[in-house]
Amino acid sequence: MSEVYEKLLNCLACVRKKTDFVPKAAIVLGSGLGDYAEAVRVEYELPYGEIEGFPVSTVPGHAGKFIFGFIDDIPVVCMKGRVHYYEGYPVSDVVLPTRLMKLMGAQILFLTNAAGGVNTSFHAGDLMLIRDHISVFAPNPLIGANIDELGVRFPDMSTIYDRKLQQLIRGTARENGIYLQEGVYAQLTGPSFESPAEIRMMRTLGCDAVGMSTVVEAIAANHMGMKVCGISCISNLAAGMTDNPLTHEEVQEAADMAAPNFKKLVTESVKGMKQFIV
Ligand code: HPA
């Protein structure tokens, strides 16, 4: 058995010693959605630190735990805080939580993040439905021996973000009067923000928003056959698009300001996911 798979199974065994909760949907809470758990009828919380071998985030504002509970009557697991590749973890650790949530039972993965707007028609505070992604600037999480128990060696990535879930989120935004941009998200490694030349390059490549997460998780989830969807909160316009230097604090503040709509869109969309769960 591969080391990566063994570690994953050990983490699952550790979780199962604490709770037998079976989530049907998994939600990864990015910056700005930190106190999202308000929308969840919480059953059980599990700090990442209590799971042996689980990668624990070092970023301020990303303190980590799994929150198990219900949105309506849908059993969900929320990740409050995620680890990023730039923290120095191997990418197999970065996607371990995603894989673990699938093994717990989650069939749907709802990814959220804060991102820099690259599309010139975007504004800070906009929400963007992720239609597709660019992964080539981040390490591929499937490099290494394939874990056959999880998925195939060469998984198709032509519809990483499930079309029906996209349609659901679009409709939910419309019904709730939430303006929703759409576009392509690219993951770069960070932790430095991009240079203006890099942002011009990303725009030329067809990218609408950039960030430091999400794509590797989406690939790992797709490999395992999960239905994936995602929303970015455009916390700032990317480097060179305004005269302001970028700071983590600014990203966090803007994400906090967009939080009410962000939360509403996530919660109402999850309620509509019942039809996609078996
Ligand atoms: N670049 C990369 N990641 C980000 C940004 C950005 O401008 N804003 C929030 N996350």
The residue among 61, 33, 28, 83 whose CA lies nearest residue 247 is: 61
pTM of the model: 0.95
Residue 239 Cα: closest atom of ligand 1: 7
Residue 134 alpha carbon to ligand 1 centre in Å: 15
Q: What average pLDDT does range 139-145 have in this prediction?
A: 97
Residue 31 pLDDT grade (very low, low, confident, very high; cuts 50, 70, 90) = confident
The residue among 11, 31, 25, 35 whose CA lies nearest residue 213 is: 31
Is residue 44 annotated as a catalytic residue, yes or no?
no
Residue 56 pLDDT grade (very low, low, confident, very high; cuts 50, 70, 90) = confident
User: What is the predicted pLDDT for the residue at 62?
Assistant: 56
Cα–Cα distance, 73 to 101 (Å, whole number) = 18
Cα–Cα distance, 268 to 190 (Å, whole number) = 32
The model's pLDDT over 72-106, given as tens digits with 9 standing for 90+, comes to: 999 999 999 889 999 999 999 999 999 999 999 99
Question: DSSP assignment of the chain, as one string?
Answer: --HHHHHHHHHHHHHHHH-----SEEEEE-TT-TTGGGGSEEEEEEEGGGSTT-----STT---EEEEEEETTEEEEEEES---GGGT--HHHHTHHHHHHHHHT--EEEEEEEEEE-STT--TT-EEEEEEEE-TTS--TT-SS--TTT--SS---TTSB-HHHHHHHHHHHHHTT--EEEEEEEE---SSPPPHHHHHHHHHTT-SEEESSSHHHHHHHHHTT-EEEEEEEEEEEPTTSSSSPP-HHHHHHHHHHHHHHHHHHHHHHHHGGGGG--
**63, pLDDT greater than 80:** no
pLDDT, the chain, mean? 93
Q: What average pLDDT does range 206-211 have in this prediction?
A: 98
Q: Bigger pLDDT: 1 or 195?
A: 195
Residue 246 in tokens? 């970028």
164: amino acid identity, one letter: K
Residue 192 alpha carbon to ligand 1 centre in Å: 9
Among the residue ranges 83-97, 217-231, 249-263, the one predicted with the least confidence is 249-263
Q: Bigger pLDDT: 194 or 35?
A: 194
> Cβ(241) to ligand 1 under 6 A?
no
Cα–Cα distance, 101 to 106 (Å, whole number) = 6
Beta strand 65-71 with 41-47 is: antiparallel
> Cβ(267) to ligand 1 under 6 A?
no
Residue 36 alpha carbon to ligand 1 centre in Å: 21
**119, pLDDT greater than 70:** yes
